Amino acid sequence: MSKLIGKYITRNAVCTSASPGHDFPDELILSAQWHHRDKEHGTSGRDASVFGSLGVFAVGDDHPSIDFPLVNALSVSPQFLQAYGAAIVPVEEAFRLPKSKEKSLTTLHVTEYTWKNNSRQYITNYVLQQNGGGGLFIETHPFPHLFTPLSPECGGGVILGRKVEDQYRFVAFQITYGYSLVIKSNVIHGDSFLHGPYAIALYETEFADSVLIKSGKPGARTIQPVRQVSAAGNRFSLFGDMTFNQRATALLLKENLKSIARATDNAPIEKRREIICFFKQLPQTMLSDLRHQSDLTQRAYDECYGIVPLQAGIH
């Protein structure tokens, strides 16, 4: 398995609780009912979750499309992630994976899974088809999860949700190559919008509570159209509203990125292709700050936001 999975056994546990009542922007807020599969069975061509049969997440008839806001997990505060029971961790940093809430789950499996979802083929041609996925599924289960992109070209975001009083809130978090997204047990989540190869840590169990997002009334449910839409959180200022510690961390990150940029101009072509893909995933403001450090970062910026046409090779 790739080195990018990380080390699970030392240092303090991640994913603490955020202060109650903290207000966060760019959340999708839905009034909905979560029906366990024992109460209402979600119909599909075949069960879309790897953990078994499906229930229904009923959203009513008022949504032509449900748009999950997509933000880069590095562009939001740790408190924002913590509110969703999650943390973003560099792959080279050791950490302790949160414990499972189910004592019978003792064996953690780490596997590689590849989503072929470029241009939304998987969502359009499978997930949102009745003879396919039967709709987008989200789920909870009594064990933690870990997602690690294994390529700079990975994309999409992991949808995370939380219930606040009688409403559900959702955000999709994009994971930058070189980082892992860790989520606690029983966190609402969905991974159908991901693209590319990821390392995933999970347990083999039937304890998962998985539901399909459906509109309409019982007995006449239909597939609810869904999208992931880039949110303002992806366009953050590197040194915006930060505490001293956050600012220091951002400065260290920027210096590390500068070093990477300067060191790769004379690297082999394959390595330069990989690094260019990495820099193109950075938020625009951050990449703009780095663009003058090397020809490579300037090219990454131009291909994303400038006038230089995207070319197949690197010369």
Write out pLDDT tens, residues 278-309. Answer: 888 887 777 877 888 888 888 888 877 764 44
φ and ψ at residue 3, rounded to 5 degrees: -65, -15
- 56-77 exposure pattern, b = at least 16 Cβ within 10 A, e = fewer: bbbbeeeeeebbbbbbbbbbbb
CB atoms within 10 A of CB 219: 6
Distance between CA atoms of 6 and 206, rounded to whole angstroms? Answer: 26
| 61 vs 298: CA distance, rounded Å | 47
- Chain centre distance of CA 6: 17
d(CA 168, CA 31): 6
Distance between CA atoms of residues 309 and 286, nearest Å: 21
For tokens 């990989």, name the residue.
274
Where does residue 143 rank: exposed (0-12), middle (13-18), buried (19+ CB within 10 A)? buried
Among all chains, which residue has been given the structure tokens 């004592």?
103
Domains of the chain, residue spans: 3-234, 244-305
With a pLDDT cut of 70, the percent of the chain lying above it is 74
pLDDT of 199-251, one tens digit each?
988 766 667 889 999 999 888 899 999 999 988 544 444 444 445 555 556 66
Could you tell me which of 200, 68, 196 has the C-alpha nearest to residue 144? 200
Burial class (CB in 10 A: 0-12, 13-18, 19+), 274: middle
71 Cβ partners below 8 Å, 6+ apart?
Answer: 26, 157, 171, 172, 173, 174, 231, 233, 234
Identify residue 131 by its one-letter amino acid code: N
pLDDT tens column, 49-73: 444 588 999 998 889 999 999 999 9
Q: What is the pTM of this model?
A: 0.67
Give the chain's count of helices (H) and strands (E): 6, 16
Q: Could you give the 3-state DSSP secondary structure of residue 245?
A: helix
Is residue 161's pLDDT more than 90?
A: yes
